[in-house]
Structure 1
Amino acid sequence: MTGMATQTRTQTARTRPATLVRVLLRRRGTVYVPAGTDQFNPDARPGVTLLEADLAERGWLLSQPLRDALLRLDTVDLTALGSRLLADCDELVGGGRDHTPLFRRFPDRVPNDTLGLFVDRILTAWFQEPTQPCVLCFAAGTVRPVNPCGHLVCGDCFRPADYSACPICYRQLDPADPYLAAGEPAVEDRPREPREVTGPAPARLRVLHLGGGLLAQVRAEVLSLLARPTALPPADADDLAVMLAGLDRTDVSWLPAAVPGRETKARLLAWLLADPVDPAVVEAHVTALVDTATDVLRFLVARSGGESLIDRPRIAPVARPLRRVLLAALDRMGVVQLVEDMRRHRRAWIAVGERLHPGEHAGRWPNVALAFAALRGTTLNQVQAAALMLNDRTASAEHVHVRDGRVLIAVRARRVEEALAARDLTAALGALRARPGELLRRADHLLRIGAGRHNALVEEIGRAARQAAPAVILSALGEIRTRAVAHDQRVFFPAGRTGTAHVVEDARSPLAPHLVGQAERALKAALFERAAALPAVDRAVVDTDLEGIIAPFTERTAARALVTLARGSVLPIPAGQVVRLFLHWMESEQRVDLDLSVAVYSKTWEHVGTCDFTNLRLPGAVHSGDFTSAPAPRGASEFIDLDVDVLAKQGGRYAVMSVLSYNNVPFLDMAEAFAGFMVRDQLGGRREPFDARAVEQRFDLTGPGKVTIPFVVDLHARTMRWLDVAAKVTGTNHAVHRHADQFSTVARALVASFEAGGRVTLGELGRWIAAARAREVIVRSPAGMTLFRRADHESVSTFALRLRTGLSSSPATAEDAASAALQFVARGDLPTPDGAEVYALHPGQLDAGRVRLLAAPDVPAMLAPPGP
């Protein structure tokens, strides 16, 4: 097992391609063990014991059935599986890398005077000579060059025991450089013994379970992702690609007849049509799945290597058989719908037209030819125009005209904009009724211009909510319920590859409180109605610790993270412990200098302090030192320790974490980059800079961004609010002192928006679903557990309100939850019946083979509208 641990430290995420086994380990907490003997293997027991110790040091435990299966393996299979499992677990938390900080004895021996150290480095760089005494201490014979930067370093002024890189330029050195060797601590060469793991268990501690039926579980996970009505976050999209690639296309009978998520559907179509084994079967699936022109566009973007319509690549050539399938699917939609969809992405569709050649098949698929003619502004002669209009069986004479040889089609979007500009509510509603999602997105605008018709508008909102996707309803609900008061700013997240937040002045007048209440009740009523239509259960559990976790409904740019959190989510920070931030990266073709930084602000968001490479120590914060390069295979790591109590006593209220690319290299150009935080015992414990077991969150740094703001710590409330936003920056030499005002503006606006209730939480959503589906609901809070029984003829809304207020309840115990077939909890530590539906932020002991383990996006997806 010693060799096993050594191997994992030399591998990186970018050199280890994703596998089905690793995907299911992360998603389900399952381990797949090769068939062993019927009897325990005595030689396997020491290896399993060491494996258990290694996993515990990373925050995982073995279930008894999994341990028994490992004990039946021969030594070769056990070693191979253990090596792979440890490498996979290391990758999840960020272990298996060299995390040596610049100042080896961080945090104890970090210099107090950052400016004085900078002056010493400058004097050494400018005036040190190879044959002269040290310019700082005047000692002779202590100055030697280091490799590869060539700086002349005095071993007395810059002791090798204190530095792990060049102390002058902070670049990584050749591992064989004598300066480094002189500072390396002695390593005892003796077999590794398992040791007791001490310290508090991490909140994310998880029990690994024995997996079985790999193909069936892969298909189950794929079906779960395909059922989500919203765009998948990058981590789930990557998992879907890996799982689809591991499946055989000869049998696609298990696939669903409909896929509500448009981008997910495009990925499925790209897989189906990549190498069709049975064209007839594939064509049938395309016919069933494609119902808008944008579905075809997204598919073509996905098969061309693109991730979304925002950053589409050059459209790849389309073979003639596939071209016929796509043209036939488009033609069935009718020309008006085609043009409405195509005009949303006009430039992309013009490029697609060069691949599909619709004019060559105008006689067979006239709707497509007519739509492209309207899109391109093509001039048709009378014969062509008459032929197309004659063949088009779906074109409405009201909206399709040919004037001077040009096809003119009045699309809905233009009619909506014109009606709203004219404050013509009747015309606007007439154009929006066929698009319930768009009506809900414009609900605030409609209510502002609908004086005198508010009751009718609320009815329209309720009618649209009964048809719209749950993500749209939740978004509208979060927006509407904050509109009774005036706000200084609004926050937008534009579509794109990075989660950039735009902050603008909010010039809207507040809506009347009674109107806000009416619209809010109409939106909730649609959610209650859908929840009540789900299978009923006798008992449910809802955890109040989920009140701070935002329900995800748009995650296209969410970071790939160990613990999935939607923007705005809040987690508590345990009292009496230190938060250690960490950053690790590895450059590829060019030097990369990333900087881990913390900016501290007052309660009015005035900048009061910084802990970064310009200021290594701040009361309550200490930086591990600034690496300015990260060559492979070692990379580089930086840390910052935050003592929340001390920072708060110094006048700080908010601490904003940021990662900045100092020399302006985007994250996507790096071989590897990730960051996160640990929670460590303040009084000591293990002294390693990176403690894999203490890691509570780890997330990738990806995309074209150069500055990211992962989260903000409320020092008084002792909470961490997940932001996961990128800052738009220009130039180079990025540092907190250049962007402190921008960080303050973005973080302040986001915190205010989330605190105002602009996002529905999983705690709220879980409470509503439980109230609709269960006769009895157990509410777990830090104060204990209470049981609520729904009275006869009590409405769902009244019962849900009572769950929040705590009226008419009785005490309950953990054993009472053993029969709860529906649970929404922060930690999976309650007993559960077989087949239960459980969402747990931290799955803990939950066995995905025994219960239906829900991901956060699966909770709102429960409320998807019924199919046709």
Structure 2
Amino acid sequence: MEVTFTATRQALLRRHGLVFIAPGAARASERHLQAIEVELAQLGYVLSWRLRQRLATLEPDELALHLRFVATALAAQVGANVRYKPLFRKFPEDVPKDTSELYLRKVLCHFLQVEGQPCVFCRRVGTTHVLSPCMHVVCDHCFDGENYSACPVCEHHVDRSSPFFKPGPFLARSLPREKVRFKLLDLGEDLPGAAQALVQSFCARKQVMSSVDATDLQAVVGEFGEAALAWLPDKIAVRENVARIFGVLLGKCDAMATFAVARAHLATATDVLRLLAAYSLADPSLQGETVRRRIERPLEGTAEARWATKLAQLFPGAAATEAATPAAATKPAKTLHPYKMVSVHTYRFKVAPLRRPLRRAILAHLESMHPVGLIEDMLRHRSYWQWVGQFLHPHEYADRFPNVARAFAVVRKRAPDGTPAPQFVGFHAAIEAAARAGDAAAMIERLKARPGELGRRFDHALRVAGADAAAQDVVISAFTAAAPRLANPLLLTLRGHLPTRGRPAAVRVFWPKGQVTKGTSAPDRRAPLSPGVIAAAGEAVERELLARFAAKPGFENCVIDEALRDIVVPFNERTASRAAVSLPRGSRVALPAGKVVRLFLHWCQPEGGRTTDIDLSVAFYDEDWQYVGVCSYYQLKFEDVATSSGDLRSGPFPDGAAEFVDVHRERARARKIRYAVMVVNNYAGMSFSQLERAWAGMMLRDDLGGSHFDARTVELKFDLQGDNGVFMPLVLDVAESTMHWLDVYATGQFALNNVATSNQAITKICPEMIGYFASGVRLSLFELALLHAAARGRRVVVRGADGLRGFTRDGNESAQQFLRRIRAGERAEAGALPGVDGPPVFAALFCGDVELPAGSVCYALYRERVVAPIAASDLLS
């Protein structure tokens, strides 16, 4: 018997709740099946009847193997695959109330406590123990060995075989008593078919995928290899997806045969560059990477000192670390060679081996492109092409591919013979020149050749046109004509953006390309647009979207949850944190009353990696974002509002470390607190991205006893990523009992980050982000689902807090008229959810707590009983 739980099976289990098991010839006992149900229930999952029946046909050993695979994958998704041991093992009980007194005790113990001497506090003899490897001497009378999981003085992990650490009967914690919403696991029948459908849904995406989706796409394509080539459509909308797919296939299949298929999808030089990056196992987003480099600094008075001064000017934010090599330690002080650690952002990757036939095929494909477009595209990524050119050797084929040789000469600024390359003026330079001249007509004339660029610069062109009615008409006419060629995500962005342009925004928020989002903002100095312009453009956008959605398969019935009004349409997913629940940035989620919010953090250093200290804190603010208090490592308790589980200052491999903070929202509200900000600070050591693993999340608890971590109550679990020192994932609005998902980072300091040092960033970024999304500038998933329903459905049921409202489309009613009537609530009737035995439905649900007919298409933010839901990004296709 051999059972292989591949990456494809894991992806379909995580995403769709499907378990693929071939029928067996045995009969498992009821006791074995009940044991499986109990173990999965501890993770918050329940078996469907079909899946249970299939499991009953397996041998006990095979059954156990499947259970191990499934449980391991599901545990990893919610963060239950590690043991959570906070510093204070009795948390939330027995956490010291006075953090200052505790700190003083630790300092005195560090400097004064000596092995074999009476305790400096209680004066007892024989109660002290030396902990290894930190060598701190601690008294088991002054520090509770039952309560501590690490050294009480330095808070680093130590050898727990010391007699200081005492077991306690309460430490074998059971599951708490919680009200749980279980998620359904169902039987999958056709693994290749499900994999093909998943790949094709990724290929249909109209915007860059999240890191979770990108990883799953590459895993499935890599597993099925050449078979996946037959699944690919004639057109793949997102060019990064093209690179990811063919980059994997180039390494798995015959390179020349694969490239022959890929050529049809590589329209620009950047497409080729992305493909080379993906083939080399690098990031095809071409964002570069930040590396830490050690640079020796010359001694004062030497000839190199001036260079060091210049270096300091170039890298003002880099932290200096004075150090000496062991060999230099015995030398006079003047011969020591201190060094400086600097962060350098590079635009290159380790290029995979390129055989000569593949190099020639790549150069031939570049040669087939328009010469001017080739040069302009390569200049967009000049550094990358300068690097990749060293491996393509275009000068060897200058006679055969002259356009490519000329393009590389422009990129390198010199021809192979050393002569200067010709000057080049590109498309974007001409657009900027027209904008500076105030010539909107010239801008539009250039932009017509690139509809996507026209859509992105539409607002800019209108501002250049100013009050000139004729120029405005030119811009609007060109935009209306280009609308059928604009991508859905761009149209949806404009659908949310345009209605807000009648007046200046409180603040402009930017979303630059990068590994993470940093909350970049500026005052809004744009001139408002006229109501007529906004109405005309908005009408064109909505009409085009409805026409596209109407071309998709229709449904007799559609069901939409009104709770999706607070969930934002996904955007900028490249920077989204890897999460168990794909909650789009900017969304608001209502929190049930009476539950305590337990925030959690886990990190683990790589084997042999530097000691790393990450801190979990909660900062509290009033209505006006004035600082009220904090619960953190330097204040373990904030009144009766919040309690920390203590500060662990290392996360050694393989177990790592964990921290918790409990937040009582009702008590916070009683003290006039409005906002509680979750803050994850990188205090010292390695960056988030360098760790073996690092994640955080939020539980909603009824019972604070029992296990510190309860997978059944995890509402959010998200990875820590990037190199930034301060992460502000979410804000609790205790007055409105809601959670704002921000998923935003701040650069912070090189080290020693905490709420005190981050307060300025918190009080700037958080209110700006909350205000930005509250303005409606980003479309909600409710509005997007409504566009689908009005275009594709005959009956639409809107499920809200006040019940079900139904709308039936008249025979001669257009999709646009139907949409407006649903929005206005006109002629609403009593609604009812469709029966399970009826025809398929289209559904967009906040909670997938209903059973739908077979063949239905359903998006559900929280999957629950829905099997094989689509992703929110699929609604943009």
Q: TM-score, normalised by structure 2?
A: 0.88
1:416 CA displacement: 0.5
Q: Is the 8 A contact 2:175 2:710 kept in 1?
A: no
2-side partners of 1:796 and 1:629: how far apart?
59
1:196 CA displacement: 10
Equivalences for residues 689-704 of structure 1 within 5 A: 689-704=708-723
State the partner residue of 1:20: 8
1:250 CA displacement: 6.1
Local SS of the residue matching 2:695? strand
AA of the residue aligned to 2:9:
V
Correspondence for 1:562 among 568, 572, 580: 580
2-side partners of 1:334 and 1:813: how far apart?
58
AA of the residue aligned to 1:234:
S
1-side partners of 2:380 and 2:255: how far apart?
34
Q: Pairwise CA RMSD of aligned residues?
A: 2.3
State the partner residue of 1:211: 188
AA of the residue aligned to 2:738:
T
Equivalences for residues 319-338 of structure 1 within 5 A: 319-338=355-374
State the partner residue of 2:380: 344
1:856 aligns with 2:869: no
1:306 aligns with 2:324: no
State the partner residue of 1:716: 735
Local SS of the residue matching 2:165? helix
Q: Is the 8 A contact 1:548 1:569 kept in 2?
A: yes
Equivalences for residues 408-447 of structure 1 within 5 A: 408-447=423-462
Correspondence for 1:227 among 190, 193, 204: 204
1:17 CA displacement: 10
1:646 CA displacement: 1.3
Local SS of the residue matching 1:722? strand
Moved more, 307-316 or 465-474: 307-316
State the partner residue of 1:237: 214
2-side partners of 1:222 and 1:237: how far apart?
10
1-side partners of 2:729 and 2:463: how far apart?
35
Deviations 1:525-583 (A, max 9, x none): 22122112222222211111111111113211111100001110111111111110000
1:513 aligns with 2:531: yes
1:766 CA displacement: 0.3
Q: Is the 8 A contact 1:553 1:860 kept in 2?
A: no
Q: TM-score, normalised by structure 1?
A: 0.89
Local SS of the residue matching 2:582? coil
State the partner residue of 1:631: 652
Closer, same or farther in 2 for the Cα pair 1:283/1:84, shift >3 Å? closer
Local SS of the residue matching 1:222? helix
AA of the residue aligned to 2:218:
A
1:243 CA displacement: 1.2
4+ residue runs over 6 A deviation:
none
State the partner residue of 2:20: 32
State the partner residue of 2:788: 769
Correspondence for 1:804 among 815, 820, 823: 823
Deviations 1:290-339 (A, max 9, x none): 11111001111222222121114143442211112212222222112212
2-side partners of 1:563 and 1:729: how far apart?
27
Q: Is the 8 A contact 2:176 2:704 kept in 1?
A: no
Correspondence for 1:373 among 409, 427, 431: 409
Moved more, 710-719 or 507-516: 507-516
1-side partners of 2:421 and 2:690: how far apart?
47
Closer, same or farther in 2 for the Cα pair 1:18/1:124, shift >3 Å? farther
1:657 aligns with 2:678: yes
Q: Is the 8 A contact 2:248 2:278 kept in 1?
A: no
Q: Is the 8 A contact 2:176 2:705 kept in 1?
A: no
2-side partners of 1:792 and 1:859: how far apart?
26
2-side partners of 1:258 and 1:245: how far apart?
20
1-side partners of 2:862 and 2:409: how far apart?
54
1-side partners of 2:811 and 2:516: how far apart?
50
Q: Is the 8 A contact 1:94 1:692 kept in 2?
A: yes
Correspondence for 1:474 among 478, 483, 492: 492
Deviations 1:86-137 (A, max 9, x none): 1111111111322122111111221111111111211222222223322222
Local SS of the residue matching 2:742? strand
Q: Is the 8 A contact 1:549 1:566 kept in 2?
A: yes
2-side partners of 1:590 and 1:375: how far apart?
40
Closer, same or farther in 2 for the Cα pair 1:710/1:536, shift >3 Å? same
1:838 aligns with 2:828: no
Q: Is the 8 A contact 1:419 1:427 kept in 2?
A: yes
Equivalences for residues 370-769 of structure 1 within 5 A: 370-378=406-414, 407-450=422-465, 451=467, 452=469, 453-588=471-606, 589-618=609-638, 619-681=640-702, 684=703, 686-769=705-788
Correspondence for 2:92 among 107, 112, 116: 107
Closer, same or farther in 2 for the Cα pair 1:182/1:843, shift >3 Å? closer
AA of the residue aligned to 1:612:
S
State the partner residue of 1:391: none
2-side partners of 1:499 and 1:309: how far apart?
16
Moved more, 357-366 or 128-137: 357-366
State the partner residue of 1:11: none
1:183 CA displacement: 4.8
Q: Is the 8 A contact 1:163 1:183 kept in 2?
A: no
AA of the residue aligned to 1:292:
T
AA of the residue aligned to 1:295:
D
2-side partners of 1:730 and 1:95: how far apart?
31
Q: Is the 8 A contact 1:549 1:762 kept in 2?
A: yes
Closer, same or farther in 2 for the Cα pair 1:605/1:278, shift >3 Å? closer
Gaps of 5+ in 1: 1-15, 189-194, 385-403, 862-868
Moved more, 98-107 or 761-770: 98-107
Local SS of the residue matching 1:238? helix
Deviations 1:666-724 (A, max 9, x none): 0122111111010111xx37521111111111111123233211111111111111111
1:251 CA displacement: 6.7
Moved more, 218-227 or 734-743: 218-227
State the partner residue of 1:46: 31
1-side partners of 2:666 and 2:459: how far apart?
42
Closer, same or farther in 2 for the Cα pair 1:18/1:157, shift >3 Å? farther
1:651 CA displacement: 1.9
Q: Is the 8 A contact 1:147 1:174 kept in 2?
A: yes
1-side partners of 2:683 and 2:131: how far apart?
24
State the partner residue of 1:166: 151
Deviations 1:10-59 (A, max 9, x none): xxxxxx9972221211011111224311x6333xx212101111111111
Q: Is the 8 A contact 1:583 1:596 kept in 2?
A: yes
2-side partners of 1:740 and 1:685: how far apart?
29
Q: Is the 8 A contact 1:536 1:773 kept in 2?
A: yes
Local SS of the residue matching 1:466? helix
State the partner residue of 1:394: none
Closer, same or farther in 2 for the Cα pair 1:58/1:379, shift >3 Å? closer
1-side partners of 2:254 and 2:350: how far apart?
26
1:513 CA displacement: 3.4
1:609 CA displacement: 1.2
Q: How many residues align structurally?
A: 807
Deviations 1:420-457 (A, max 9, x none): 11111111001111112211211221111212232332
Local SS of the residue matching 1:491? strand
Local SS of the residue matching 2:518? coil
Gaps of 5+ in 2: 289-347
State the partner residue of 2:344: none
Equivalences for residues 171-210 of structure 1 within 5 A: 171-183=156-168, 185=170, 198-202=177-181, 205-210=182-187
Q: Is the 8 A contact 1:777 1:789 kept in 2?
A: yes
Local SS of the residue matching 1:481? helix
Correspondence for 2:262 among 286, 300, 303: 286
Moved more, 623-632 or 267-276: 267-276
1-side partners of 2:720 and 2:834: how far apart?
42
State the partner residue of 2:805: 786
1-side partners of 2:255 and 2:172: how far apart?
60
1:728 CA displacement: 0.8
2-side partners of 1:197 and 1:709: how far apart?
28
Local SS of the residue matching 2:676? strand
Local SS of the residue matching 1:709? strand
